[in-house]
Structure 1
Amino acid sequence: MFGLIGHLTNLEHAQKEAHKLGYSEYANEGFEFWCSAPPILVDEFQVKSVTGATIEGCYIESCFLPEMLNSRRIKTAIRKILNAMALAQKHNINITALGGFSSIIFEEFNLKENKQVRNVELEFERFTTGNTHTAYIICRQVEQASAQLGIDLSKATVAVCGATGDIGSAVCRWLNQKTDVADLLLIARNRERLELLQSDLGRGKIMGLEEALPLADIVVWVASMPRGVEINNETLKKPCLLIDGGYPKNLGTKFNHPDIKVLNGGIVEHSLNIDWKIMEIVNMDIPGRQMFACFAEAMLLEFEKWHTNFSWGRNQISVEKMEQIGEASVKHGFKPLLTFS
């Protein structure tokens, strides 16, 4: 069996969807209640591969809310993720994906130092961030969507916002090694990490966001947009492709121009329907088939019986591992989302 650990986008969203997820008693509770609420296994389902194989899966709602980070409830956020992981292990799940902020919290706050969760000693090989498959899907979206829009990668400038993160650095490595993209613009907050990435790639220009955006034919956005930042449509190239790799997806609401196309990054479509609740609740257009690529990674690892933390640790994603998970993705019937928002 595989597992998915996730969370909803904010308190209002969590209250609204509590009925559908089966814990109606949470619906009218406020922030403090959600801070103490335990994780819940709320959905069980089957996933079928185009090969004919069938696997069993479940979704665990961590009851984490992004407001917990904004209100400096860091210890609460950490406890939420560790408790959800312990719940997955108690159910003897082979491999579980840490979705949304779950993997970010795990890496950022070094949760591998917290193996003991009450009476459970976490076995980290049972968990994956799903970032390798996410990075692979984003790269394939860049390649395929740019061709749809008539953007020639061999002449194109690609800006990667969040370039030093786990997914961002992997995207940079793939574009550097597997495509003939003309130029890479590297955007992130930490100058030292940017310089290390630039050295590793042997290319790329380090730039600030405002400087880079007018130069980019394609923008891969895998970092949170800074608060208060507004982007004028007129400053962007036409055509321009924006890949929104963040969570929640919100770039599509910020641009209104026929030649600026926004694609929800890191989303896959499965060839076969899945009877589950969670993708409808997070507003996928085709909830029976569309999902986050990090969740799909857990499915692929279960299909292939690769019961290991395939994606783990900061900046450990190689092009070779992206190719490996990409081959499994195609084999079992997954493809990148190519519908513009």
Structure 2
Amino acid sequence: MFGLIGHSTSFEAARRKASELGFDHIAEGDLDVWCSAPPQLVEHVEVTSATGRTIQGAYIDSCFVPEMLSRFKTARRKVLNAMELAQKKGIDITALGGFTSIIFENFNLLQHQHVRSTTLAWERFTTGNTHTAWVICRQVENNAPALGIDLKKASVAVVGATGDIGSAVCRWLSSRTGVAELLLVARQQKPLEELREELGGGRILSLEDALPEADVVVWVASMPRTLEIDTSRLKTPCLMIDGGYPKNLDARVAAKGIHVLKGGIVEFFTDIGWSMMEIAEMEKPQRQMFACFAEAMLLEFESHHTNFSWGRNNITLEKMDFIGGASVRHGFTTLNLQGLPQAAVA
């Protein structure tokens, strides 16, 4: 059985969803009430692969909302409590979605394996970052040529290059795609230098310097609310993959010739009878989902119950090959720019 741990995109959205589900005592409460609310298993689902295999799953709402990010102890407790619930329900492999995986890594929750009387079994959980990284790379490879961008001659900027997903994207694009030049952007200089040495190339640039040079921008870092991008300095055409969370890049760079694609999202080959993706505001909630969620499903389809994506910078090309092959085999395709065909390439 697979599990998905998620949350609503805002406090108001969470209250609306709680009301729809009949949790009026939570829906009518203020943020302090929500801070103390326990996680809820809100939906069971059955999914059949393109291979014909059927698996069972469950969605757990952590009752976390982005407005709680500044409350360190609350955010930490929300994620750990949701993981405890998943384990108590006997779920074999559970994906941490949205901010829950970010909180787990940034707040170093590996130090908190004991939740009340439960010892969390790490092998039951995955961040889903390997599948997310693979999907973003395929989105670059599928969509750039359709815009007339030759990746063999292109400069690709990876913003957040030293993160778990960003570093994996750099490894893939450097060795498998063979892009002409990688522009490495991140906050800390030393990890950037270590990544460049690992890759055997790439240029370290500031965001301000990298953007005007990039034919493709892969954005896998948190975007500051105050950030302003001068679209007149960007190349056209320019493909921008919004692989961060929340996905708000399209509102920042709306301009002719700038093509923004929501990164790390996949579409299943048939409808799934669930309502959980409506919380994530997917365009096709019956088929589309975050790639991190799909990773748990893929691991269940493959009977590969392990913390497949775990720890920073542990994503290998071999793991990306494995999860990418499973993704295609079981009926997932990458989300593409509108007007372009869906692509599933092994």
- Please identify, of 17-26 and 312-321, the stretch whose mean Cα deviation from structure 2 is larger: 17-26
Equivalent in 110, 114, 117 of residue 116 of structure 1 = 114
Q: Quick check: 108-117 or 158-167, which moved more?
A: 108-117
Corresponding residue for 1:76? 74
The answer as to whether partners of 1:261 and 1:340 remain within 8 angstroms in 2 is no
Cα distance, 1:22 vs structure 2: 4.1
The counterpart of 1:103, out of the listed 96, 101, 104, is 101
Distance 2:22 2:229 in 1: 40
- Asked if the contact 2:143–2:336 (Cα under 8 Å) also holds between the matched residues in 1, the reply is yes
Q: Tell me the residue number matched to 2:344.
A: none
> 2:269, 2:316 → 1: CA distance?
27
* Structure 2 residue corresponding to 1:236, chosen from 234, 237, 260: 234
Equivalent position of 1:31 in the other structure: 31
What is the rounded CA distance, in whole Å, between the counterparts of 1:253 and 1:271 in structure 2? 29
Separation (CA, whole Å) in 2 of partners of 1:277 and 1:190: 40
Alpha-carbon distance in 2 for matches of 1:76, 1:202:
42
Task: Tell me how far 1:112 sits from its aligned partner.
Answer: 1.5
Q: Verify the 8 A CA contact 2:9 2:279 in the aligned structure 1.
A: no
Q: 1:21 to 1:133 in 2, by over 3 A?
A: farther
SS in 2 for 1:335: strand
- Report the equivalent of 1:294: 292
Q: How many Å apart are 1:58 and its aligned residue?
A: 0.7
**Deviation beyond 4 Å, 4+ runs, structure 1:** none
Counterpart-to-counterpart distance in 2, 1:90 and 1:194: 40
Equivalent in the alignment of 1:328: 326
User: Equivalents in 2 of 1:261, 1:303: separation in Å?
Assistant: 34
Query: Which amino acid counterpart does residue 169 of structure 1 have in structure 2?
Result: S
The equivalent residue for 2:184 is 186
Structure 2 match to 1:201: 199
d(CA) in 2 for partners of 1:115, 1:280: 31
2:144 counterpart SS class: helix
Identity across the alignment (%): 63
Q: SS of the counterpart of 1:170? A: helix
Residues 227-236 or 82-91, more deviating: 227-236
What letter corresponds to residue 204 of structure 2 in structure 1? I
Partner residue of 2:58?
Answer: 58
Q: Please tell me whether the aligned partners of residues 21 and 277 of structure 1 are also in contact (alpha carbons under 8 angstroms).
A: no
Corresponding residue for residue 165 of structure 1: 163
Would the aligned equivalents of 1:49 and 1:272 in 2 still touch at CA under 8 Å?
Answer: no
2:140 aligned counterpart, secondary structure? helix
Unaligned runs of 5+ in 1: none
Give matches, 1:113-152, under 5 Å: 113-152=111-150
TM-score (norm 1): 0.97
CA distance in 1 between partners of 2:337 and 2:21 (Å): 27
Q: Report if the CA contact (8 A) 2:3-2:58 is conserved.
A: yes
Moved more, 142-151 or 24-33: 24-33
CA RMSD of aligned residues (A): 1.2
Q: CA deviation at 1:83?
A: 0.3
Mean Cα deviation higher: 24-33 or 282-291: 24-33
SS in 2 for 1:139: helix
- Unpaired segments ≥5 residues, structure 2: 340-346
Give 1:40 shift: 0.4
CA deviation digits over 1:73-121, x for unaligned, max 9? 1011111100000000000000000111111111122211211111111
How many aligned residue pairs are there? 339
**Cα drift, residue 305 of structure 1:** 0.2
- 1:275 shift after superposition: 0.7
Write the distance in 1 (CA, Å) between the matches of 2:283 and 2:78: 29
Asked if the contact 2:4/2:58 (under 8 Å) is kept, the reply is yes
Counterpart code for 1:36: S
Which AA in structure 2 matches 1:13? A
Q: Distance in 1 between matches of 2:30 and 2:51?
A: 46
Q: CA deviation at 1:332?
A: 0.2
Structure 1 contact 131–166 (Cα < 8 Å) conserved: yes
Query: 1:132, 1:21 → 2: CA distance?
Result: 32
Contact 1:264 1:340 in 2 (8 A): no
Q: Aligned partners of 2:58 and 2:21: how far apart in 1?
A: 12
TM-score when normalising by structure 2: 0.96
**Aligned residue number for residue 18 of structure 1:** 18
SS of the aligned residue for 2:4 comes to strand
Q: Aligned match of 1:308 in 306, 309, 322?
A: 306
